[in-house]
Amino acid sequence: MQIDEKIFKKYDIRGVYPQEINRQAAYSISRAFTDFLKDFYGLQKPKIVLGYDIRKSSGELKEAAIKGLLESGAEVINIGLCSTPLNYFGNWFLKADGSLMITASHNSKEYNGIKFSLKAVSAPVEVGAEEKIKQRAMRGEFKDGYGDLFKKNLLSDYISFLNKEAEAQDFSSFKIAVDCGNGMVGREFETLAEVLNLNYQGLFMEPDGDFPNHEPNPLNEEARIPLKNLMQQKDFDLGVMFDGDGDRIVVFDSSGQAVRTDFIIGLFAQYSVLEKNNFKIPCDSRISRGVKEEIKKIGGEILPVRVGYPYIRKRMREEKSLFGAELSGHFFWQDFSYSESPLLSLIRLLKILKQKNQPLEELIKPFQKYFSTEEINFQVQDKELTLKKVEKEYSNGEISLLDGVTVNFEDWWFNLRPSGTEPFIRLKVEAKSKQLLEEKVSELTNIIKGA
């Protein structure tokens, strides 16, 4: 059975089940991944951690992946239903040679996919492995072997790790609203909340692969409505929302308004610089000038990196950075093997709030210097042609091609980049005034649509 080539994205596998991703694809990709680990690390029997999310198709894909791993001679550790961060935790906690996670992240229920990592949660794209894995899977040429299968529950180990970070602090004075979106983080949050004695009210905590209440994407405005409604009905200090596989977090202030992710990045960057003497913070290139300016004041430096978790992790390793982030709600920590754990991020945010003894709204005020859009999506026929057209139109500005096209002017800037996982081109604009912002968004919209 031929594998649909379009399921191979920039740094993971994703497609509609079963038309695009199916048993055959999961089987072949797992075999190709095992063969790559054998060749790259010089191993006869690589140790591979496997986890999967609650999607209706995940069980079938998991069985096919296990079959492929075993027939290629891997030592497979099945950690069962889990979030992506728990899968990452298993990778480095068990000192594995790689890990597979069956998930389609924040995509809607008809999708599924595979995220794979090498040792210590490094991504295949960091060493140029993704094309080799793809080509081997497409050819169907594999090395045979005899593998072993083990099962292990790592939830208690993960919670112990998180509890250690809390340092026995009492967070019960914070009243927290939580929306787990029927995704994988629900039971993990509930277990952690019991250990830390968190004072919270939860929505949609039970994992359900149909995602019956809203899409598992915390950036979706409609998906945010239930949490906003809850927070407007009762008094809360903050709210948090997670995506389907639990590797992203969006934070809400006490009024129920979503806090811009770059402002949360700013708080964590201050923590990294002032508390940990770690001065270089890799982030995607769309971060607000206001955050960059405030971090520069205290001796830190925001390092621009192209969007995508492999690129930020790679730069973090190079710089030995404690912390890195991207605006979609991914926060990466050196002591979590340069990967993301929203529960770890939540604990660190609570520690900051407790230490500063100020509401979240007050702490982010220094970053609020400019007016900014969320990312605006455009569906275009030719992404490259559109980028070149826009670059030419704004050739009088300071241009960076690090990630799409970024153009800086004295009182405004914009970034236009192609999505790596969806058929869109995305625009973000920031300016010193609301009027200038609206003018430039309109101007750019006309150019993009004209292209």
Q: Mind telling me the catalytic residues? A: 105
Are residues 383 and 425 in contact, defined by beta-carbon separation less than 8 angstroms? yes
> Can you list the alpha helix ranges (DSSP code H) found in 167-252?
186-196, 221-233
Distance CA 276, CA 314 (A): 20
| 3-state class percentages of the chain: helix first, strand second, coil last, to nearest 5 | 40, 20, 35
DSSP code, position 245: T
What is the number of residues in the chain? 451
DSSP code, position 444: H
Q: Can you name the residues that pair with 80 across neighbouring β-strands?
A: 51
Enumerate residues 6+ apart whose C-beta is below 8 A from 357: none
Which residue is listed with tokens 């508390």? 275
The pair of three-digit structure tokens given for residue 379, joined into one six-digit string: 């569906």
Distance CA 426, CA 379 (A): 9
* Burial of 24 from C-beta contacts in 10 A (0-12 / 13-18 / 19+): middle
The pair of three-digit structure tokens given for residue 31, joined into one six-digit string: 């075999």
Longest Cα–Cα distance of the chain, Å, equals 66
Number of H helices, E strands in the chain: 14, 21
Give yes or no for a cis peptide into 218 (omega within 30° of 0). Answer: no
The pair of three-digit structure tokens given for residue 188, joined into one six-digit string: 């993990």
Are residues 386 and 451 in contact, defined by beta-carbon separation less than 8 angstroms? yes
The Cβ of residue 346 has, within 10 Å, a number of other Cβ atoms equal to 24
Query: What single string gives the DSSP state of each residue in 127-187?
Result: GT-HHHHHHHHHHT-------EEEE---HHHHHHHHHHHHTT---TTSEEEEE-TTSTTHH
DSSP code, position 101: E
Distance CA 87, CA 115 (A): 10
The 10 Å CB-count burial string (b at 16+, else e) for 366-384 is ebeebbbbebbebebeebe
AA identity, residue 159: I
